[in-house]
Amino acid sequence: MFNRLRQYDVYTKGVDGIQEKTMGGAIITVISVAIVILLFLSELGLYTTTEVVNRMHVDTVPQDAVMRIEVDITFLHEKCADVAMDASDIKGNKDLLSDSNIAAVPVVSDESEGCRLTGTVDVHKVAGVVSFAHAGSLNMFSFSDFLEFNSSHVVHRLSFGPEIPNMVNPLENVHKTVEKNGRYLPSYLSFIIRHLVIVVALYKYGLSIVPTQHTPLYGPPVQTYQYSVTEYTSEPSEEGALSFPGVSFMYEFSPIKVEYVESKPSFLQFVTSTSAIVGGVFAVARIVDSLIYSVSSRKMD
């Protein structure tokens, strides 16, 4: 058995003009090959793995650049004729919906008829607000509209720009329901009304939008926007203060841009690194084998 193992010794020793294979050399050879295989597999894994490098810098995109908002929201208890959408920004632009592509689709259930609004809105890269309220409330507020509008909703999706890998949209499948209860209505309302009407509520979503660029390993860079959200809910207080019912998405932009760059080692780097590993391991193994053989030879003498 030991004689068979000796034949694997690649570190043959010269003894009086002949080459000698030793047990220690064979063991070191086997260990060296195992180490080389493990390190090679590790390098192969690094070569085939795409690394994403994060960078941050000041956003230089001008404010007049156009950003596309993708909206998909359902009002659970309001007909499409009773829901109106509005969009404006801090520059005073009120006609942002002129270039929008919003479709209103009735959603009929056993309990009531709702409305699903889907589509896109093009806005400038400045702070603004997209809001939904009663169709008559945006132009002329009436108390009856106030009591009748139910802002229960489902935000199926709200995004800004194209999607990139590992992107998370905080406002995705978010459900908000206003309960049928009159506990917050003013005391001067009749007992029947206070227990039949739906509590009105204004849902506010504060969005902090971060300009983002994703540079894939192959292909052109993709410009998009990520965001974080803070939720607020305003309901009538016990003292009788009333809130304007509806849903508002208030957004502002971060001055810092985040960039994700995909990268991986080149084939030349892989070959160079692998060659260095093989050469380095066997060089060290040869030194160790020589030391062991030298020490054992002295002991035998």
> pLDDT tens digits for the chain (301 residues)?
545 555 555 545 445 444 556 666 677 778 888 888 888 888 888 888 888 888 999 998 888 888 899 999 999 888 888 888 888 888 877 766 766 788 999 988 777 789 999 999 988 899 999 999 887 654 555 555 556 778 889 999 999 989 888 888 999 999 998 865 444 444 444 444 444 445 567 899 999 999 999 998 888 999 999 999 999 887 655 444 556 788 999 999 999 999 999 888 888 888 888 888 888 888 887 887 777 767 666 665 5
Cα–Cα distances (Å) from 49 to 54, 167, 266, 271, 287, in that order, read: 16, 19, 11, 16, 34
Domain identity same for 19 and 141: no
Backbone dihedral region for residue 133 (phi beyond 0: left; psi -120 to 50: alpha; all else: beta): beta
Domain identity same for 137 and 43: no
Domain identity same for 69 and 206: yes
Domain identity same for 138 and 15: no
Domain identity same for 134 and 216: yes
Sequence-distant (≥ 6) Cβ neighbours of residue 16 within 8 angstroms = none
Decide: 21 and 4 in contact? Cβ < 8 Å: no
- Note the residue count of the chain: 301
3-state SS string over the chain?
Answer: CHHHHHCCCCCCEEECCEEECCHHHHHHHHHHHHHHHHHHHHHHHHHHCCEEEEEEEECCCCCCCEEEEEEEEEECCCCHHHEEEEEEECCCCCCHHHHCEEEEEEEECCCCEEEEEEEEEEEECCCEEEEEEECCCCCCCCHHHHHHCCCCEEEEEEEECCCCCCCCCCCCCEEECCCCCCCCCCCCCCHHHHHHCCCCCEEEEEEEEEEEEEECCCCCCEEEEEEEEEEEEECCCCCCCCCCCEEEEEEEECCEEEEEEEECCCHHHHHHHHHHHHHHHHHHHHHHHHHHHHHHHHHHC
Quick one: pLDDT at residue 18? 46
Domain identity same for 136 and 9: no
Domain identity same for 242 and 130: yes
Domain identity same for 290 and 150: no
Residue pointed to by tokens 């003292």:
239
Domain identity same for 132 and 192: yes
Domain identity same for 152 and 201: yes
Domain span holding position 193 = 58-262
> Taking Cα atoms as reference points, which of 173, 278, 169, 265 lies closest to residue 225?
169
Domain identity same for 62 and 45: no
Instruction: Count CA atoms closer than 13 A to 205's CA, side-chain side.
Output: 22
Nearest 10 degrees: Cα torsion 300, 14, 31, 265:
150
Domain identity same for 34 and 119: no
Compute the distance between CA of residue 59 and CA of residue 150 in angstroms, rounded to an integer: 40
- The total domain count for the chain is 2
